Amino acid sequence: DGGITQSPKYLFRKEGQNVTLSCEQNLNHDAMYWYRQDPGQGLRLIYYSQIVNDFQKGDIAEGYSVSREKKESFPLTVTSAQKNPTAFYLCASSRGLASGANVLTFGAGSRLTVL
């Protein structure tokens, strides 16, 4: 079955540590995204990538970094510079940019808790 796999599902981090969240898709989608979800708020875009070796900042990119070395993979690193990293992180992909009729397919999410 085609889909998006995120790992780990749960992650605990001490303050000052960097952590990397994995996102892999086998849908042959060109575009990939990282969103952050906090209680009572809509999803907020962290980074997105339209093609391999290219990515753009979203609305809340500070304290995060990404890479897109392969079409299938779009890992997100939460750095120690992110002041409030505890959240639910969602990776998504779409055939083209998420406009027009391109539907976003989401992974199951990764919940990061900073101790």
Partner 1 sequence: KNQVEQSPQSLIILEGKNCTLQCNYTVSPFSNLRWYKQDTGRGPVSLTIMTFSENTKSNGRYTATLDADTKQSSLHITASQLSDSASYICVVSPNDYKLSFGAGTTVTVRA
Tokens of 115: 């101790």
Find the angle CA(4)-CA(18)-CA(41) to the nearest 5 degrees.
Answer: 60
What is d(CA 92, CA 81) in angstroms, rounded to the nearest whole number? 24
Q: Is 76 in the site for partner 1 (CB under 8 A)?
A: no
What is d(CA 93, CA 105) in angstroms, rounded to the nearest whole number? 5
Residues 13-52 within binding reach of partner 1 (CB under 8 A): 31, 40-45, 48
- Residue from 100, 113, 114, 115 touching partner 1 (CB under 8 A): that is 100
- Residue from 17, 69, 70, 108 touching partner 1 (CB under 8 A): that is 108
DSSP run (H or E) holding 20: strand 19-25
Q: Is 92 in the site for partner 1 (CB under 8 A)?
A: yes
Q: Is 60 in the site for partner 1 (CB under 8 A)?
A: no
Q: Is 111 in the site for partner 1 (CB under 8 A)?
A: yes
The count of chain residues that interact with partner 1, using the rule CB under 8 A, is 26
Q: What are phi and psi of 5, to 5 degrees?
A: -115, 125
Q: Which residues bind partner 1 (CB under 8 A)?
A: 4, 6, 31, 40-45, 48, 58, 90, 92, 97-101, 103-109, 111
